[in-house]
Amino acid sequence: MSSADTSRIQRTGASRTVAVLECLRSAFAPFELAYAAAAYEDTVLTSEAFVRRLEQTVFIAVDGNGPVVGTIACSMMSEAEGHLRGMAVQPEWQASGTADRLLQYAEDELIKRNCRRITLDTTEPLQRAMRFYERHGYRRSGKVQDFFEMPLIE
């Protein structure tokens, strides 16, 4: 496992598209067979979808001057509600503190915008992610939507 001490968190743009897509694919590869094909593509994104994602604030964790080892996006859904999505950490960086730091950066960004409630959605195959979010104070709302024929849990 790598140390998060060598990574830094920063906002990103289109110049890092390939690196962010690689991070997403690497992080979600173990779950590909558990996802509906369209849900998986929506999760790991295409280049075009990532450009649209950049309408939100997208943070990356970078190992020194090297690769993107994690990412998260956040946006305001209303005047008081923020939303997180697209969090991923490279497998070798999981449990290193990188995810904690990414989450904190995104939450801080939303709080700066006067956000009073932050939501996120996840899928059943991501049990470890659900435990991570619950350790950080997130609770299941009971709201479940359809995500390409998969349950999407708020």
**Of 5 and 129, the one with more pLDDT:** 129
Strand pairing report for 117-120 and 122-123: unpaired
The pLDDT assigned to 4 comes to 42
Kindly give, in sequence order, each residue whose CB lies less than 8 Å from that of residue 8, ignoring residues fewer than 6 positions away.
61, 62
Tell me: pLDDT of 2 over 50.
no
User: What are the domain boundaries of the chain?
Assistant: 4-120
CATH number for the domain whose boundaries are 4-120: 3.40.630.30
Q: How confident is the model at residue 129 (pLDDT cuts 50, 70, 90)?
A: very high
* In the chain, beta strands by DSSP E: 7-11, 57-63, 68-76, 81-89, 117-120, 122-123, 144-146, 151-153
C-alpha span between 75 and 90 (Å, rounded): 23
- Number of neighbours of residue 103 by Cβ within 10 angstroms: 22
C-alpha span between 123 and 126 (Å, rounded): 6
The pLDDT assigned to 100 comes to 96
- What pLDDT, in 10s, does the model give residues 46-97? 999 999 999 999 999 999 878 999 999 999 999 999 999 999 999 999 999 9
- Number of neighbours of residue 33 by Cβ within 10 angstroms: 8
The pLDDT assigned to 135 comes to 97
pTM to 2 decimal places: 0.93
Tell me: pLDDT of 36 over 90.
yes
> CA-CA-CA-CA torsion for 126, 122, 70, 101, nearest 10 degrees?
-100
C-alpha span between 104 and 101 (Å, rounded): 5
Average pLDDT over residues 27-32: 97
Q: Among 6-10, 38-42, 123-127, name the one with the lowest average pLDDT.
A: 6-10
What is the three-class DSSP state of 104? Answer: helix
Tell me: pLDDT of 28 over 90.
yes
